Structure 1
Amino acid sequence: MLKIIDKYILKRYLATFSVMLLMFIPIGIVIDVSEKVNRMIENQAPFNEIAWYYLDFTIYFANLLFPIFLFLSVIWFTSKLANNTEIIAILSSGISFTRFMRPYIVGATIVSFFALIMSVYLVPSASAGFKNFRYKYLIGNGQNEMRDNSDVFRQISKDEYLFVSGYNEVSKMAFNFSMEKFEGDKLKYKLIASRIKWNEKTKNYTLFSYSKRKVGEYGDIIERGEKKDTIFNFDLEDLTPLVYIAETLPLNELHKFIDKEKARGSSNINTYLVVLYKKYSIPVSAFILTIIAVAVSAMKRRGGMGANLAIGIVLAFAFVFLDKVFGVLAEKSTAPPLLAVWTPNIVFGLLAIYLLRNAKR
């Protein structure tokens, strides 16, 4: 009996959540196409890049908004159970409210597991493609705007500095490359190139239309060429614009990148830490929002499903609002990133405990 009820609720949990995603993602794509099709045409975006962009768009926003979709889907089907007096029948048979919650927790565990896997393996790649296409074709005047917003100037060692004016994640190529090496306050050499490309197979870089000037005591030595393969002591991530670099790195690379930026004393370290902590906080939110959704919608209300959905929408957007506010607070202030990222889960976790106690009564 109990296993049948568990399977029934778990099936409804996963099915409703899946349908909710399949309904809203295409709507989001249609709205995005209608808003951006003119810029894609003006900036001559190739069709294959547009197709990849919307695949990345789907993964990126499914991960970003999955707590809302999960919350509303649980409220939707639990409200239907309540309106059909199914929950009353289940509890009247002697099953406790805590036992009734078991299939919901199992469902939240499954969803959280897949959300974590996506966040670690799929979302970084999707974020890279999504952001790169956006900066290349959609913001302002396309590539010119991308160049203005993606300049990279970094100190890669005690006496070495590099600069690029744009980076393409797909081709692993940066533009208007410049590298300078100093000894004290004296310039030792300067290397410039129109492009620099990372070669995945050979693990080296290729310079195009390059020029290298070595500053000598009695005269400079200049080397020029159209193409040259070489090795540098900086990583590929050092060429990536700061505006979205952390979002494009897999978990293990993100940890290494954060350690390296801490050693350099980067001023953007809080931004990177927020990205890291959210990979863990978002899956946990599935449990909290599931408990709140069940506690809110398990009671049969006079307003029916409409009242429950209204409450759910308000709570869902309150969660997103807190998440955004504290995320920005962590990036732009001295607030501890770990506390800021987890504050929405802490606040709604306390709310979940309160609502669950009332629902049991």
Structure 2
Amino acid sequence: MLTILDRYILKRYLATFSVMLLLFIPIGIMVNFAEQNGKMSANNAPVNEILIYYMHFTVYIGSLLFPIFLFLSVIYFTSKLANDTEIVAILSSGVSYNRFLRPYIIGATLVAILMFVMGMFLVPKASVGFNEFKYKYLKKGKQDRVTNNIYNQLNETDFIYISSFEPARQNGKNFTFERFDEENNLKFKIAASNIRWVEKDSLYRLTSYRKRTIVGDSAILESKRRLDTLFTFKIDDLTPVSYVAETKNLFQLNKFIDEQKRKGASNINTYILVKYKRWALPLTAFILTIIAVAVSSVKRRGGMGVNLAFGILVAFVFVFFDKVFGTLAEQSGFSPLLAVIIPNVLFSALAFYLLQNAKR
């Protein structure tokens, strides 16, 4: 049962957070539009696609900034309570500090649920439109996927390699397809200087086709200038777009990661990192809320400005740690799980320390 105190603080918590979103997201849209307007005009982006892009932009960017907005909003309204000596009055009336924290935890729980639903289901949909527009009009000509030295394990027996791939033309160079038996012996190998997907005929066209089939201790050689054939893979699946994990919801992402592990994808850590970050994001709502309350619940000589300055510093440090460990996981053999756990453990320890000081 919520008391008057709970409702009062919870109302301030949610209202300040909402106002922060409503103020800063439109500013972000205007800044982005001012920066990208020239590219949109140069690449003839239709008005309806621009409007849809900014709908996706709002969801995509808003979800990324949720923790920062939450942190700063809690610092803002809690500092105001402290400066107006409302917190002193609450604690002097016999309310313990832990009891004072309860409406903050309730608020963090509501925001965490919102962040979870958005991160697992709404943001992936927004990510598709956001990134497709970005690479179509804002980064036109730049590749949104790996296009060189593509290696893929299709299943337990089939392997392919392409030295370079052009997504726009659905064309690959120096194609190799190998099939092994259960004892890991080569059954046959197909090589071609070029592989191209012919959409109108729904088939693959191989140029300078060569096939070597192993039969016992001998090999049967076959070659053709051109061969139209079928394979079980889709040519776009050979090299997924770099943001593919962001476009998958909770269930799709788990299935996608399992498929990529089976194929031996070289950038599997990137996909796993996206998964763990989604699960960790709601946890940050609690960590940052506790830090914000512990910092701003004490009335300071410098007033609200000191608390906000400290909050901005902590926010930047949090983002820095998140990016550093994320980059380590993507670019090296560092564990994606540790990359997500370490920043949260460090800031959990900071939250505990600041909370103990605030109680004293």
Counterpart secondary structure, 2:143: helix
- 1:74-223 map, 5 Å: 74-139=74-139, 142=140, 144-146=141-143, 151=147, 153-157=150-154, 158-160=158-160, 165-166=166-167, 175-176=170-171, 181-182=177-178, 184=186, 186-187=189-190, 192-193=195-196, 196=199, 211=205, 220=224
| Residue of structure 2 equivalent to 1:303 | 302
Q: Deviations over 1:81-108 (max 9, x none)?
A: 1111111111111110000000000000
Give the AA of the match of 1:320: V
Distance 2:324 2:222 in 1: 58
Partner of 1:199: none
Residues in 1 aligned to 2:134 and 2:58: alpha-carbon distance in whole angstroms: 14
Measure the CA separation in 2 of the matches of 1:186 and 1:347.
51
Look up the SS of the partner of 2:78 in the other structure: helix
Secondary structure of the equivalent of 1:101?
helix
Give the Å deviation of 1:256. 1.6
Instruction: Say if 2:351 is the partner of 1:348.
Output: no
Match of 1:52 in 2: 52
User: Does the 8 A contact of 2:204 with 2:231 survive in 1?
Assistant: no
* TM-score (norm: length of structure 2): 0.83
Residue identity in the other structure for 1:17: F
Q: 1:29-79: CA deviations, max 9, x gaps?
A: 111111111111111112222112111111111111111100000000001
TM-score of the pair, normalised by structure 1: 0.83
Corresponding residue for residue 23 of structure 2: 23
Could you list the runs of 5+ residues in structure 1 that have no partner in the other structure?
168-173, 197-205
Provide the aligned length of Structure 1 versus Structure 2: 337
Contact 1:193 1:207 in 2 (8 A): no
Same amino acid, percent of matched pairs: 51
| Residue 255 (structure 1) shift | 1.2
* Equivalences for residues 311-322 of structure 1 within 5 A: 311-322=310-321
> Runs of 5+ in structure 2 lacking a partner?
180-185, 212-220
Partners in 2 of 1:350 and 1:207 — Cα distance?
61
Q: 1:257–1:2: structure 2 CA closer, same or farther, 3 Å change rule? A: closer
**1:145-173, Cα deviation, whole Å (9 max, x unpaired):** 237x5537452521445775237xxxxxx
1:193–1:208 contact (8 Å) kept in structure 2: no
Residue aligned with 2:287, SS:
helix
Alpha-carbon distance, 1:2 to partner: 6.7
Q: Deviations over 1:191-249 (max 9, x none)?
A: 955665xxxxxxxxx7579646776867749677xxx9x994459755532x2111111
Deviations 1:335-356 (A, max 9, x none): 2111111211111100110111
Query: Which residue type is aligned with residue 16 of structure 2?
Result: T
1: distance between equivalents of 2:7 and 2:134?
A: 43
Letter in 1 for 2:166: S
Residue 357 of structure 2 corresponds to residue 358 of structure 1: yes
**Are the equivalent residues in 2 in contact too, given 1:39–1:138 (CA < 8 A)?**
yes
When residues 2 and 265 of structure 1 are mapped into structure 2, their CA distance, relative to the original with a 3 A threshold, is closer
CA deviation after TM superposition for structure 1 residue 114, in Å: 0.7
Three-state SS of the structure 1 residue aligned to 2:71 is helix
Q: Aligned ranges for residues 222-237 of structure 1 at < 5 Å?
A: 232-234=232-234
1: CA distance, partners of 2:324 / 2:69: 20
Q: 1:275 to 1:218 in 2, by over 3 A?
A: closer
Corresponding letter in the other structure for 1:269: I
**What corresponds to 1:202 in structure 2?**
none
SS of residue in 2 equivalent to 1:155: strand
| Partner of residue 13, structure 1 | 13
Counterparts in 2 of 1:301 and 1:124: CA distance versus 1, 3 Å: same
Aligned residue for 1:171? none
SS at match of 1:35: helix
Rg (Cα) greater in structure: 2
Tell me the distance in 2 between the aligned counterparts of 1:115 and 1:237: 30
Deviation at 1:176, TM superposition (A): 3.7
CA gap of 1:191–1:207, structure 2 versus 1, over 3 A, is farther
Superposed, which structure 2 residues align to 1:269-288 within 5 Å?
269-288=268-287
Work out whether 1:67 is the aligned partner of 2:70: no
Q: Offset at 1:266?
A: 2.0
Deviations 1:254-287 (A, max 9, x none): 1122122222222211111111100011110100
Distance 1:113 1:95 in 2: 28
C-alpha separation in 2, matches of 1:29 and 1:261 = 35
* Contact 2:197-2:205 within 8 A present in 1 as well: no
Matched residue SS, 1:187: strand
Q: CA RMSD, aligned part only?
A: 2.9
Distance 1:235 1:195, change over 3 A: closer
Q: Aligned residue for 2:265?
A: 266
Mapped to 1, the partners of 2:75 and 2:198 lie a distance apart of: 53
Between the aligned partners of 1:118 and 1:2, the Cα distance in structure 2 is 27
